[in-house]
Structure 1
């Protein structure tokens, strides 16, 4: 399986038609204006009231946009842009017409019912700002029901002296319907660079499953100086990482601010932010600051902070090195010692459990978040018994990891020339049910070699519970998981596993389209030698799941559904 999971609709409505303003027929230019006064848009204890009014059909179209799970698992990622629409936006009583609005998100935050949003105030009115900002980035907290992870994480980065966005909260409604609490995060753009570095002329790159390397560097998205598109600074770091250690130690400090990177790396580790630069080669920016000519790392997408365990990279849940730069430095004794020393210093001087718990409680009270939703963040910080296991506090977990003599496993991205064949797909069909404890039906697909599989839950039920219902409460909305185990009756009852995910807001009778990781299907082959004893074969690429019947409060696991979807095989399955 890939190390990370990894649509054009109608043109935005509300575009101004030119109106006659005089004999010339031209509209008078609008003057720059700052609305909302001089308030602090990111004041920590502030919850903005954001009301959006737009065409209901266009909001439905906006909500439905998103990548498929399969498209993010490919070696060759296809270009993807969200459609821009026009809306009226009112922030704390201040109204702005003709605001450009679009959906945002790569994969983990995608939701068809609760979309993250980007608002642009000055696209159609050059120079218009709200309290000094040209727009808002509103994250839906889909991977963080506590509503606290992002702001707590960015606070820790800034306290450690690392450039990081500011954030607070917004209560968002669209066409009068409340969508709940969103995190209002400062965009990583030229105003941010000017504020933090004092200069915005350098090259800024965003990384979504990107790394340094001959081929991997192509995955960095250039965010400034796009027309020049000079990416030689990335290539220089890639070439340096191919040098022997003695040469690397002479060249790399001329390209990357290593002191800052090691501290950045240590903070990611401290926070247990597994979907990060060092944890997953994901969710970060790099900026080559003209003042020193060096790359600086900026955190982003911190909604998986305060978790620790990487769900698909076993053993990498304390000390992270799943990124080429971290991986290389970790193997050099001098730099591993510096990294571990930074962790120890942060534990001694910055990591304050009482202060963190108070900040968590302040956020919980401010946003109206339940005690249960914040419980996993508390458990990460202080440690707690979990079932038959005891979870160490983050402090003890890091101290034990530093003291352990064993090597730390790493899973950096492979720097191979992308293989971009046409995707190999298969229809996924079937009808299955779990009623009154009886699992029946089958799911059908075709293997890449052309052999058709009819995986029977009915036959598998003689050996196992072949349809397992569970609920992931660490997402918002919660996600229903249906784990289907089928035995191929035409091939010695070879078992296959199909996992379906459906957002709880969509877990109602009806037809639901596959959407990102929120509503999708994953196909596995049973493999006793693989982690979790399964090997990924294919990911959801389109189509739908139709729920015919769902359970009742006393029998929530009852379900009857049909499948009419398309799966895409990964390269490892071909």
Structure 2
């Protein structure tokens, strides 16, 4: 773990030398015999001077691939790898605070060595990985005034949701071209204790230096959104990142109040609180690049900053590793034109603002969206990072399309998809907004999940067991289900890095008219080997569904994995890759809407 080092050396010495000299006589007067112990002057190290290492190089030069090497205690790195929120906790209406542990490491960047660097894991849920954890390195914490190429630290995103390694940097460049403040980024090859973890994205953090550069000051209120929106209750989900001590959040309430006004009043009041023209352009860029896990796509992954000079909010993109994908995978029929956010949805329903949004999109397509340039930039990134052609295939398909209409994986080019949506008589897609209701902070209902299943030579057998919220036990049999369907389906998600193995199990409850349930297990490919594998974010976890053909996708989500493990006894390889034998020992949490 890290040990705080102040300006006078190591340990917990916090009194400046001048003050220490004044206090020594007082300590002497307190002694029973008038004596005192005085530390050896050699125990106090000389002050560490402010220093900028690495020279004046550009830490975020787009054609740069940093070489980052981290050395730390092996057991501490194992602890770092294991930390993270549970999948189930992210679905709770009241999300508890979560703090990652901090450790001390030695770090070398492009040959420049630094001792006493604070390192911790980062990530909310989608990027959590035990094999390749995202990292934050702080050069300044234990050595006040130390920077590397004028930066106090670096943020290294593991690209878990982006095997192309290109989505974040390409997306942020599209925002900047449109005049939207966005972080700079490039790439880093990261090694920890000699282990090559692969290519990470080195992203400029949204902190005061960024705010000062982008907006000319850094004194305003900055908030980060993780599934947050404007609302009486939803605004509480914005995490305040500046001016925390004052914790004055009245500016959020002002926007909430404005959105409750009739259209004509809203059009007068809102531009005083939000840079509306800039937001509509921001919204159009999110739509252009198909960033579904974004502000307008998912009420997620963005910052807002209220500039003191104008008193208006500006939107800043963040977490763009799901850009260049398109429709929301978990919200069916979202459509091409994003509006799963209160501000976007409200403006879309006001003809003047909808026309402005559509005009922004048309302008971006006419003046900024350049397929050949995007593909050229993508190829440069691929060559720089050593990414495979397969890794960038889906991103290329998003830009230029794929196949013909009769192909199962046919895809329209992004330009054609947008033009089609813009010329439609009625707006396509459903709108999914977060509910602005008082959160239920009661303890979640849980159930043990146990089971033993196998798939050998095409024969699926076994069962998984759990208890419904009403107390009724369920034993879902794969053996019985196998008479009607393939009850254990093995597949690999190649759009994750590392790849993720999915085991989709269908079981029927013989005691309840053979009612079907579905359990989906997913395990990162490096962990898909015999052994015990603990639940960890989306990397290794379980989702429990009940079949309901009246719903989109024919299933309803019941519960998510909280804690526990999957024990793999054997796994097949080659032509027998779908063979597996496993047992389950876990706890699931039911969603708040499951009775």
Aligning the two structures, in what range does the TM-score lie when normalised by the shorter sequence? over 0.9
| Contact 1:272/1:317 (8 A) holds in 2 | no
In the alignment, which residue of structure 2 is the partner of 1:27?
Answer: 45
**Whole-angstrom distance in 2 between the partners of 1:495 and 1:26:** 69
In the alignment, which residue of structure 1 is the partner of 2:76?
Answer: 58
**Whole-angstrom distance in 2 between the partners of 1:273 and 1:282:** 11
TM-score, with structure 1 as normaliser = 0.97
Per the alignment, do residues 561 and 187 of structure 1 end up closer, same or farther by CA in structure 2, a change over 3 Å counting? Answer: same
In the alignment, which residue of structure 1 is the partner of 2:457?
Answer: 436
Q: Secondary structure of the residue that 1:384 maps to in structure 2?
A: coil
In the alignment, which residue of structure 1 is the partner of 2:11?
Answer: 17
**Whole-angstrom distance in 1 between the partners of 2:245 and 2:119:** 24
Work out whether 1:325 is the aligned partner of 2:319: no
Instruction: Mark the runs of 5 or more structure 1 residues left unpaired by the alignment.
Output: 1-10
**Whole-angstrom distance in 1 between the partners of 2:363 and 2:105:** 48
**Whole-angstrom distance in 2 between the partners of 1:353 and 1:30:** 51
| Contact 2:506/2:516 (8 A) holds in 1 | yes
**Whole-angstrom distance in 1 between the partners of 2:526 and 2:102:** 25
Q: Render the CA deviation track for 1:111-146: whole Å, top value 9, x for unaligned.
A: 011000000000011111000100000000000000
| Contact 2:421/2:427 (8 A) holds in 1 | no
Q: Render the CA deviation track for 1:409-430: whole Å, top value 9, x for unaligned.
A: 2101000010111110000000
Aligned partner (choices 416, 421, 434) of residue 401 of structure 1 = 421
In the alignment, which residue of structure 1 is the partner of 2:194?
Answer: 176
In the alignment, which residue of structure 1 is the partner of 2:448?
Answer: 427
| Contact 2:4/2:142 (8 A) holds in 1 | no
Work out whether 1:295 is the aligned partner of 2:285: no
Work out whether 1:193 is the aligned partner of 2:207: no
**Whole-angstrom distance in 2 between the partners of 1:457 and 1:91:** 52
Correspondences of 1:76-95 after superposition (within 5 Å): 76-95=94-113
| Contact 1:385/1:391 (8 A) holds in 2 | yes
**Whole-angstrom distance in 2 between the partners of 1:343 and 1:21:** 69
Per the alignment, do residues 255 and 14 of structure 1 end up closer, same or farther by CA in structure 2, a change over 3 Å counting? Answer: closer
**Whole-angstrom distance in 1 between the partners of 2:360 and 2:400:** 21
Q: Render the CA deviation track for 1:259-287: whole Å, top value 9, x for unaligned.
A: 10000000000000000000000000000
TM-score, with structure 2 as normaliser = 0.93
| Contact 1:21/1:28 (8 A) holds in 2 | no
Work out whether 1:257 is the aligned partner of 2:272: no
**Whole-angstrom distance in 2 between the partners of 1:317 and 1:85:** 44
Report the Cα offset of residue 13 of structure 1: 6.0
**Whole-angstrom distance in 2 between the partners of 1:302 and 1:513:** 28
Aligned partner (choices 141, 146, 161) of residue 143 of structure 1 = 161
Q: Secondary structure of the residue that 1:571 maps to in structure 2?
A: coil
Greater CA radius of gyration, 1 or 2?
2
In the alignment, which residue of structure 2 is the partner of 1:4?
Answer: none
Work out whether 1:75 is the aligned partner of 2:93: yes
Q: Secondary structure of the residue that 1:557 maps to in structure 2?
A: coil
In the alignment, which residue of structure 1 is the partner of 2:28?
Answer: none
**Whole-angstrom distance in 2 between the partners of 1:255 and 1:549:** 59
In the alignment, which residue of structure 2 is the partner of 1:532?
Answer: 553
Report the Cα offset of residue 18 of structure 1: 6.2
Q: Render the CA deviation track for 1:529-567: whole Å, top value 9, x for unaligned.
A: 111100000000000000000012111000000000000
Q: Secondary structure of the residue that 2:168 maps to in structure 1?
A: helix
Instruction: Mark the runs of 5 or more structure 2 residues left unpaired by the alignment.
Output: 14-37
Aligned partner (choices 342, 347, 350) of residue 360 of structure 2 = 342
Aligned-residue Cα RMSD (Å) equals 1.3
Report the Cα offset of residue 388 of structure 1: 2.6
Correspondences of 1:202-281 after superposition (within 5 Å): 202-281=220-299
Report the Cα offset of residue 406 of structure 1: 2.1
**Whole-angstrom distance in 1 between the partners of 2:133 and 2:350:** 43
Report the Cα offset of residue 185 of structure 1: 0.1
